Amino acid sequence: MKSQPETAAVGSKWTPEEEVLLIDSLGNDKNIDDIAKEHKRTPGGIRSRMRIIAVRMIENDGKSIEEVCNKLRMTSEEIEDAQKRRTASKHNTEAKSKPKPETELDVLNDIRKRLIRIEAKLLQE
């Protein structure tokens, strides 16, 4: 996608300025396809960013769902879905970050792997 000029920004980090332009474009009733072309992103990428902005506006800025609906031209169902996804994503991240309890066998296998790497380095010298 990045090789095509019309989607050159796909996968690139969104800047705060680009988010402001997106919100302004939505306020000016531009359609998603035109906004995607302006930002050199896909319509799906625009919708995804809209969900992220919506959740942020509610969680960080204290905006009501109604305010966000009007500003981003989204339905309350879309925003509620975005909030549920965000909550699920947070729980998954927290679960992944918790260290697994190691068994004695895990510890011994880790020591074995480290010794093999040390031996390989010593043999290279």
What is the span of the domain harbouring residue 10? 5-124
Task: Give the residue among 34, 38, 42 at the shortest CA–CA distance from 2.
Answer: 42
* DSSP state string for 14-63: PPHHHHHHHHHHHHTT--HHHHHHHHTS-HHHHHHHHHHHHHHHHHTT--
Higher pLDDT: 10 or 57? It is 57
How do residues 19-57 score in pLDDT, each as one tens digit? 999 999 999 999 999 999 999 999 999 999 999 999 999
pTM for the predicted model, two decimal places: 0.68
pLDDT exceeds 60 at position 8: yes
Please give the tally of structural domains in the chain: 1
